[in-house]
Amino acid sequence: MYRTSASHPTLLQEPLRAITQHGKPYCDIDLTQPRPVVDTLAWIRAHNIHVLNVAGNREHPRTPAVFKAACLYLRDVFVALGYERVSRA
């Protein structure tokens, strides 16, 4: 999961290289224009994903609020998968 940054177009090259080197499936989600949750659910089911490793860029002035956007998107994915939504205390 990432938020695009014109000043860092190669930001995710290293993680993608490692993923493809190990033959693991991956799903790019640009948080500036995220794919519909149903598409991500279809990908999870098609690849029989049981453990989800999430990687991406960290908070930075060029990528503001990326952590919150990722959390909200993942919450929607997990709720759609049938997990109970937990509100923050």
Per-residue pLDDT reduced to its tens digit, 49-86? 998 888 777 777 776 788 889 999 999 999 999 988 76
**Separation CA 12–CA 55 (nearest Å):** 9
SS3 52: coil
Contact 63, 9 (CB under 8 A): no
Please give the pLDDT value at position 7: 46
Confidence band of 6 (pLDDT split at 50, 70, 90): very low
Specify the pTM: 0.76
Q: What band does 35 get if pLDDT is binned at 50, 70 and 90?
A: very high
Residue extents of the structural domains in the chain: 13-80
Phi, psi values for residue 57, rounded to 5° = -80, 155
